[in-house]
Amino acid sequence: MNVLTKKFVLLILSLSVNISCVSESDKIENVFRYNEYSNISSLDPVYSSTLRNIWPCNQIFNGLVKMDENLNIVADIAEQWTISEDKKVYRFKIRNDVYFHESIFFENKTRKVNAHDFEYSFKRITDKDIASPGSWVMNNVESFKAVNDSIFEINLKEGFNSFIEILTMKYCSVVPKEVIQSIGDSFSKNPIGTGPFKFKRWDDNIKMVLTKNENYFEIDSLGNNLPYLDGISIRFIPDKKSEFMEFLSGNLDFISSPENTIIDQIFDINGNLNDNFKNKFILSKNPYLNTEYIGFNLSEKLEKDILLRKAINHAIDRQKMMKFLRKNIGYPASNGIVPNGLNTNFKANRYNKNIEKSKILIEEYMKINNLSNVSLDITTDAQYLDVLEFVQSELKIIGINLNINITPPSILRQGKATGKFDIFRASWIADYANPENYFSLFYSKNHTPYGPNYTFFSNEVYDMLYEKILYLTDDKDLNETYNQLEDIIENYAPIVPLYYDMSVRMTQKNINGLKNNPFNILDLKTVYKK
């Protein structure tokens, strides 16, 4: 297909999609409506590094295996699998009843998924031209191949305890070769997957529509076909306050992670709903494997500013911050990068407030660098302004002037990925329930844009220890090595951990079947309205 023909086909495809559903989604009552305030950048699963992309991709795509709400690994497109005793060889048997969503690029509108599709999809993850932020998940993979149509095999360089958990990530979703080869980069806005919902329409900055996949392969415990909903409508309201008002007006079925000003409005000091909101909607709060932190770009000054970064870490009263800014919705990040639930055997209280220690460190820093004052610039989005204003007031006590620069979430993400900002507010949501995932943020081979190391931290001892934990099986050895890694992070201070998050979800009273999980992943295939 030449370039001109390809462009024409895409135009016709786009027009037909839009014309057919302009009013369709608005007329159907059985549609789940939510908002993505930070917008969606891509529907190609190789770029699903943030929740804004993961949520819709989770409705559109499937992988070999998946994680249920209790963090158990269960079958997805692979109906069964075996792992060799040395944990190096993984063999998956592919279901024979999974079909791709219909597309004009298939010979017969659709076709069955086979093992060769996974071989193609995995090659895309490591393609340097694609530059997937998830390429790091293949760091320990020696090879992979389709043995035949029904068997897919993965060989690892070294046995790795958490590899099966890594395969649950959306990066590892199956995609159709012939569609991507036909439309190229346009796949990110015209995706074809296998999931319970299929792509229908995307109006930039306005709305996205997904519709029910009538041929989806999963059924419920009673034998009923999934999903129950007829569709999903995603709006792009950029303001959290407006989003909340739309929810209160009944125009949205669900909101998640309200900003702090809204939390102040609807919660009391103990994190419970105020009386005037108790009967308006359904509230659920759950531990969330997410750490909020301040990151430093250390690409050229790892050693230079250690004293400054340590001073900042001990200047912040994290408990006070959680009580007055978050209504105790979440936990002070005083133990390190790994959040509550995964750090029970780690050294506690690494980052308690210690003003005297902070003042000594900052005075020494100023003396060494011949400074009379310290002024810093930090970049964040508007949602976390109050948190950083609190940090600003805390740093003022030790003589640091912190200037806060507000930028749109998209610019913040881009700046982190390119090393544009010297200091920035960031977060890390676990990809799988293992402390190793958090320590990957400081592994030198994971430097952005090919991994989650946004600070450009690099340390040979750290790398050696990180590689060691990938293959350890003894709990005592693992916990000892985890603490050694946290010791290095504490010593070099590439980040300032702020707090461990808690997911807050609010749904309309007619929404049923929405399951919670520690990753705050949105899974809508079992949701229904009544």
Q: Would you say domain 25-237+508-529 falls under CATH 3.40.47.10? A: no
Average of pLDDT values for 429-451? 88
pLDDT in tens, 179-201: 999 999 999 999 999 999 999 99
Q: Is the pLDDT of residue 18 over 60?
A: no
With cut-offs at 50, 70 and 90, classify the pLDDT of residue 450. confident
Query: What size, in residues, is the chain?
Result: 530
Average of pLDDT values for 287-298? 94
Which of the listed ranges 275-279, 361-365, 431-435, 519-523 does the model predict with the highest average pLDDT? 361-365
Q: Is the pLDDT of residue 1 over 60?
A: no
With cut-offs at 50, 70 and 90, classify the pLDDT of residue 465. very high
Where are the alpha helices (H) located in 126-253, listed in sequence order? 163-166, 177-183, 240-248
Which of the listed ranges 65-69, 76-80, 278-282 does the model predict with the highest average pLDDT? 76-80
Domain ranges for the chain? 25-237+508-529, 287-503
Q: Is the pLDDT of residue 304 over 90?
A: no
Predicted local distance difference test score (pLDDT) of residue 10: 52
Evaluate the CA torsion angle 439, 444, 446, 448 in order and state its sign.
positive
Q: Which of 8-22, 29-43, 109-123, 300-314 has the lowest mean pLDDT?
A: 8-22
With cut-offs at 50, 70 and 90, classify the pLDDT of residue 15. very low
Residue 224 CB burial class (10 angstroms; 0-12, 13-18, ≥19) = exposed
Q: Is the pLDDT of residue 456 over 80?
A: yes
pLDDT in tens, 317-359: 999 999 988 888 899 999 999 998 787 788 889 999 999 999 9
- Tokens representing 335? 């133990």
Q: Is the pLDDT of residue 528 over 80?
A: yes
d(CA 23, CA 517): 34
Q: Where are the beta strands (DSSP E) in 85-156?
A: 89-94, 141-146, 151-156
Q: Is the pLDDT of residue 24 over 60?
A: no
Residues 188, 204 contacting (CB under 8 angstroms): no
With cut-offs at 50, 70 and 90, classify the pLDDT of residue 12. very low
Q: Is the pLDDT of residue 2 over 70?
A: no
* Residue where the block lists tokens 């460190």: 361
> Nearest-5° angle of CA 279, CA 284, CA 290?
150
Predicted local distance difference test score (pLDDT) of residue 292: 96
With cut-offs at 50, 70 and 90, classify the pLDDT of residue 21. very low
Q: Is the pLDDT of residue 17 over 70?
A: no
Q: Is the pLDDT of residue 22 over 60?
A: no
pLDDT in tens, 141-156: 999 999 999 999 999 9
> What single string gives the DSSP state of each residue in 51-103?
HHHHHHHHHH---SEEE-TTS-EEESSEEEEEE-TTS-EEEEEEPSS-BPPP-
Predicted local distance difference test score (pLDDT) of residue 28: 56
d(CA 215, CA 156): 34
CATH C-level class of 287-503 = alpha beta
Predicted local distance difference test score (pLDDT) of residue 432: 83
Evaluate the CA torsion angle 237, 242, 248, 254 in order and state its sign.
positive
Is pTM beyond 0.75 here?
Answer: yes
With cut-offs at 50, 70 and 90, classify the pLDDT of residue 392. very high
Buried b (16+ CB within 10 A) or exposed e, 386-413: bbbebbbebbeebebebebeebebeebb
Over the chain, what is the mean pLDDT? 91
Q: Is the pLDDT of residue 13 over 70?
A: no
Task: Tell me the percentage of the chain whose pLDDT exceeds 90.
Answer: 71
Average of pLDDT values for 422-435? 90
Type and span of the H or E element at 256: strand 254-256
